[in-house]
Chains A and B, each alone.
Chain A
Amino acid sequence: MNLITPPAPHIHSGNRVSSMMTKVILALIPAIIAYTWFFGWGLVINTAIAVTTAVASEALMLRLRRRRLAPFLGDGSAILTGMLLAFSIPPLAPWWITVLGAAFALIVGKHLYGGLGYNPFNPAMVGYVMLLISFPREMTAWMHPYILEQLEIGFTDTLGMIFLGHYPYDLSLDALSSATPLDLVKTELGTNNTVSEIMANNALFGDFAGTGWEWVGNWLLLGGVLLIYQRVITWHIPVAILSTLFVIGSFFFLADPDTYPSPLFHIFGGATLIGAFFIATDPVSASTTPRGRIVYGIGIGVLIYVIRTWGGYPDAVAFAVLLMNMAAPTIDYYTQPRVYGHPGGKA
């Protein structure tokens, strides 16, 4: 008789890495649509480039490392890395920027460390930071919302700009691009304007953060809440990041509203929301204990505020996440939960 004798348990929930990744990807899509609405087709094109490059790089590395292709390519993690990277690249960046970033993220950020599960840093952020340092001009060429719509620049024109560097109306990338609200506040504060003056004088700002950005933020928030509800991520990291930013932001804002923008500006501005719900929650590189995740989130919140306010980069999410990635193993060690039946509980 040849009965099979696998070890217990004999049933499984059917939960898979691929289904988790799929849920994250789906949760990102509303924000991508909103982004496209305000800033044109660039993000869609960049996402396509980044995802293709990421998956190709993953396949290449799996081959080189003699790993099985199907289960690893099917897990969806490379797709997600590509999407997150595309989200952090300016929408009109030339194609090779995106290709370089995605390839770097997968090859160096992920596979040189051992691939899925072994990378200490968030691969998308590794790719992003490499690009930001190497190509600061391209990587800061953000856009004014609606500008493409006003200029009637459609999908094919955008393709042309990204792939061929053909700009319609003899414009240039510099002419089309503008700073992000966070950039602007930072530079203008340097010229002794108050926050309210800056915000009043510039159409870039909406109700409390940037026009367009606020809406993208809303959808990211919604997607993130859905992920928590679906138990793909836990509440600890996003709540810790956002409340830390809110508390520190409020403190400085109340002390000196002319110099410090409101806490909502920090939360809805820049990459905070995508960082809090989609990037810092990357399980592999984040802290894994419940208390550790709170510490990790607070750390990111503090670093975001500090770097934005006093550091050299206007948006600090990537650096904050990478720095806390380094601390994650130590945090985990010191935040082990109290085990059942061990001192500290009710005996």
Chain B
Amino acid sequence: MRRLHQFKGGVVLKGHKKDSTLMPTQPARLPASLVLPLKQHIGSAAEPVVAVGDKVLKGQLIARAGDTISAPLHAPSSGTIRAIANHPVPHPSGLPAPCIFIDSDGEERWRPRQHQIFNFAELRPLELREIIRDAGIVGLGGAGFPAWVKLDPEGREVDTLILNGAECEPYITCDEMLLRERALEVLAGLLMMRHAVQAKHCIIAIENNKPKAVRALAEEIRNTGADVEVVEVPTIYPTGSEKQLIQILTGKEVPSGGLPIDIGMVCHNVGTAYAVYRAVELDQPLISRYVTIAGSVAHARNLEVLIGTPLGNLIEQCGGNRQTLQRVIVGGPMMGVAVHTDAVPAIKTTNCVLVESAMHDVPLPSRDAFSLPCIRCGQCADACPINLLPQQLYWYARAQNYDRVQDYHLFDCIECGCCDYVCPSQIPLVSYYRHAKGKIWEQEEEKRRADRARQRHQFHELRLAREKKERAARHKKKRTPVAKGGDDKKAAIEAAMARVRAKKAAQEVPPKNTTDLTPAQQAKIDAVDAERAKARQATETTPADEET
């Protein structure tokens, strides 16, 4: 048995997971129209490679990856590209973003298979990573970082590959159901990832409130004899956060501003492992995923959802009433994003759709609208898993003292919401932090712009000065000859006139389509030209003949 460690703080939350785990996962119904945001991941947006009106097949590439950190996009179903336009997306800003719209034809016709791999272990890690990259796989746990980047240790040794099945947010059960229903596939995906990073050890971490998932996995490990350790971790929010999970499993901390790989760890979500398996073994890019639909719906459950399916369709399929919707949260209640409309599509990172209707039949005890001042009780600090002082962050964020707020390590905050959850003054702490982070980024961007502008300005000044000097020099040079005499001038004009005449003459030569021709070709062309000239002469004369 592995000795587990503890992370500081955290909160114990009511799980609400039972409802959505009663029924087996079902495919979501194919919507008439799929909406695919070009940016469903961290990094630059994908670039469309299809045009409006194009027919596409299921799994066909419709947008290629942008520059280095990005992910390509594939058609989740066969159909026609209807538009490439802005549409609401699940993003906290609430701003619409460019999307590709596909009208599905209902045939679900796959593109031809592109590769067939019989033994992934024979591939080089690089080749494996390329397959994963080309399949558009991003972290399915939430952030959506392109998976192949995280699978590239860049020459560093990976001690442990951790597969994160903790799933600590209330209501969400998609990873649990995936483990229960596709344990073997997840395990296979994990082994592929392990090969890609050449990890020494492999751990799958699952919260101890999911015994069925643990059992399913343990059985497959026994059957296959895979060298993978299943570890049950305590059910306390946010165990599923990468940093906290690593701390629980190893007692080590990811350095501030660093990555798990800095301490020899790589951490991926179980859903990502399943996507890797499908990409490598079945040659299927990431076009669908497990999504939990929970809250005010008649049948909370998990659906296997095509990326791009509007949330309203999913809510309807689970017996929710779209007319009485009040709040739709993409993600869990702690870190999820409340979206403006249920027309927003499910994207690669959508793990849960939490529905609240005007009936209030689901207990989502929200913060009071009115918050009292901070009473410095420190309960937020006790709950913070990063050991920050949220009350001080709040104080300085509110005062817009952006230097001080960084002294208190604002950028180490993982926005888990624990502080917010316990605050007796009901202060929306996390929004203050997000706002402050945004402002600081903005200021830095502005500063960079200002720096660039200053550089440009200095450069401009420099150039002006140089040009002025050059002009002055040229003037001096010019003035001397022109002043000297009219003969030179005459000669120069003569020369110019000659050049113009030559140019005109050249233009009168009929243009040739091609250059660099062999003499034989040239002869042929000349012959044809001569024929044409003759014919032209003939036609030019004919009407005259008729007249006569």
Interface residues of A (CB under 8 A from B): 1, 3-17, 19-20, 68, 71-72, 75, 77, 115-118, 231, 234, 283-284, 286, 288-290, 293, 332, 336-342, 345-347
Contact = CB atoms under 8 A, between A and B. Distances in A.
B375 A283 contact: yes
B421 A9 contact: yes
B511 interface: no
A341 B420 contact: no
Contacts of A19: 424
Contacts of A231: 379, 382
B426 A340 contact: no
Interface of B: 7-8, 11, 13, 92, 94, 170, 243, 247, 251-258, 263, 325-329, 331, 333-343, 354, 364-368, 370, 372-379, 381-382, 385-389, 391-392, 408-409, 412, 415, 417, 420-426, 428, 430-431, 434
B388 A9 contact: no
B341 A1 contact: yes
A260 B431 CA distance: 55
Given A3-B339, A5-B340, A340 B256 contact: yes
Contact of A340 (B366, B375, B387, B389): B387
B372 A117 contact: yes
Contact of A347 (B253, B412, B421, B428): B253
Nearest to A6: B338
A346 B92 CA distance: 34
A71 B365 contact: no
A337 B375 contact: no
Contacts of B329: 10
A267 B336 CA distance: 50
A341 B340 contact: no
Nearest to B341: A1
B389 to A, nearest CB: 6
A340 B382 contact: no
A341 B412 contact: yes
Contact of B434 (A7, A118, A284): A7
Contact of B385 (A75, A117, A338, A340): A340
Contacts of B385: 340
Contacts of B326: 3-4
A315 B430 CA distance: 44
A4 B338 CA distance: 7
B520 to A, nearest CB: 73
A295 to B, nearest CB: 14
Given A9-B333, A68-B370, A116 B412 contact: no
A11 B421 contact: yes
B430 A7 contact: yes
Given A8-B337, A19-B424, A347-B263, A72 B364 contact: no
B378 A234 contact: yes
B338 A337 contact: no
B352 to A, nearest CB: 12
Given A115-B373, A234-B378, A10 B334 contact: yes
Contact of B392 (A20, A332, A338): A332
B251 A3 contact: no
A64 B426 CA distance: 24
A341 B381 contact: no
25 contacts: A1-B325, A4-B327, A5-B338, A7-B434, A8-B335, A9-B333, A10-B333, A11-B364, A12-B368, A116-B372, A117-B374, A283-B375, A284-B376, A286-B376, A288-B377, A288-B378, A288-B381, A332-B392, A337-B381, A338-B387, A340-B256, A341-B412, A342-B255, A347-B255, A347-B263
A7 B431 contact: yes
A77 B8 CA distance: 30
B426 A289 contact: no
Nearest to A18: B424
A29 to B, nearest CB: 21
B378 A283 contact: yes
A279 B438 CA distance: 39
Contacts of A4: 326-327, 338
Contact of A1 (B333, B342, B368): B342
B336 A8 contact: yes
B339 A340 contact: no
A118 B398 CA distance: 14
Given A6-B338, A12-B367, A340 B421 contact: no
A340 B378 contact: no
B171 to A, nearest CB: 10
A201 B337 CA distance: 73
A339 B263 contact: no
Given A1-B341, A12-B426, A71-B372, 14 more contacts: A3-B326, A5-B338, A7-B338, A8-B337, A12-B367, A15-B422, A15-B424, A20-B377, A117-B425, A234-B378, A289-B381, A336-B389, A341-B256, A342-B255
Contacts of B343: 1
A-B interface, 5 closest residue pairs, ranked by CB to CB distance from nearest: A117-B373, A9-B417, A341-B256, A283-B377, A7-B431
A341 B8 CA distance: 12
A14 to B, nearest CB: 6
A1 B381 CA distance: 38
A336 B408 contact: yes
A115 to B, nearest CB: 7
Contact of B254 (A290, A332, A336, A341): A341
A162 to B, nearest CB: 32
Nearest to B431: A7
B427 to A, nearest CB: 10
A141 B412 CA distance: 55
Contact of A116 (B253, B375, B422): B375
Nearest to B258: A341
A340 B373 contact: no
Nearest to A20: B424
Most buried by B among A16, A286, A288: A288
Nearest to B373: A117
Contacts of A332: 389, 392
Nearest to B425: A17
B375 A72 contact: no
A116 B257 CA distance: 36
Nearest to A75: B372
B412 A339 contact: yes
Contacts of B368: 12, 16
Contacts of A342: 255-256, 409, 412
B364 A346 contact: no
A294 B339 CA distance: 45
Contacts of B341: 1, 3
B336 A339 contact: no
A293 to B, nearest CB: 8
B387 to A, nearest CB: 5
A11 B424 contact: no
B391 A9 contact: no
Nearest to A341: B256
Most buried by B among A5, A6, A15, A341: A341
A339 B388 contact: yes
B14 to A, nearest CB: 9
A231 B380 CA distance: 12
A290 to B, nearest CB: 8
A306 B87 CA distance: 70
Contact of A283 (B257, B335, B376): B376
Given A10-B333, A339-B388, A117 B376 contact: yes
A14 B417 contact: no
A111 to B, nearest CB: 12
Contacts of A10: 327, 329, 333-334, 336, 338, 354, 364, 366
Nearest to A337: B387
